[in-house]
Amino acid sequence: MQVDDKKFNMKTDGFLPRYNAIECFHKPGNHLFGIKFRISPVIFQKKINFSEYKDYIFPLSYLLDQGVIDGIKQAASFEERINILSNYFLAVLAKYEGSLQQVDIVSKILDNYSKDNNFTVSLEELAAGQKISTRTLQRYFEKCTGISSKQALQVMRIRKAVAHIANSPRDFHHSLYGYYDHSHFYKHLRQFLQENTLKNLRPHIQLLELLHKN
């Protein structure tokens, strides 16, 4: 497994902060099962600050009960694994609903940002909308997601844009995601993708083709 420019031999289950670039190098017989969260529900159960989890792949048992991990491994099918995890995490969410203000605020901002495509709204406006200071908002984001509010929102922005251009390049336009032009989008894209990934995806070719057609 490679995280940015660091390689790790994976001998157990791991937790990785979601904003890092990750590549997997598979061998015959390898099996990979991943769980992705904007905010992991484990934050309700343990006194944890995700900003402390950086630049490394941590054992998953730090964050998830070993019994749940074992149940996932022993499951006979993908659907069974999904059911185990859904039942577990939905129970956690139901038990702790509304108990952490920072989680409610960060979740609401992320949901609205993604749904409404408010990619140019300032952090000051976001904080004011929740009646908290910008510094407090930053602290909430770092604890819940491991990164600053600006980083978290920009990761969401570029992922939505990349998903769009990959799945439906004909109707992609930079302005849909608050970019001034295609160059602005490509510059932002390069900040989040490894050089090898950029070469494989060849996004500049797609962009040039779009510019030629418009």
pLDDT (tens digit, 9 = 90+) per residue, 41-62? Answer: 777 777 777 777 766 677 777 7
- pLDDT for the residue 212: 44
Please state which CATH number belongs to domain 101-151.
Answer: 1.10.10
Is the CB of residue 49 less than 8 Å from the CB of residue 145? no
Average pLDDT for consecutive 10-residue bins of the chain (214 residues)? 70 69 70 74 76 72 81 89 87 77 86 81 88 90 84 84 80 85 81 61 55 50
CA distance 194 to 23: 9
- pLDDT for the residue 206: 58
Say whether 14 sits in a helix, a strand or coil.
strand
Specify the DSSP element, H or E, that contains 157: helix 149-167
CA distance 125 to 41: 27
- pLDDT for the residue 4: 64
Burial label, 111 (beta-carbon count in 10 A; 0-12, 13-18, 19+): exposed
Q: Find, among 51, 70, 52, the residue nearest to 60 by Cα.
A: 70
List C-alpha distances in Å: 142 to 31, 57, 150, 204.
Answer: 31, 18, 10, 33
Q: Dihedral sign, CA of 148, 152, 157, 158?
A: positive
**Domain map (residue ranges) of the chain:** 2-96, 101-151, 167-213
Say whether 32 sits in a helix, a strand or coil.
coil
Q: Find, among 56, 185, 25, 191, the residue nearest to 119 by Cα.
A: 185
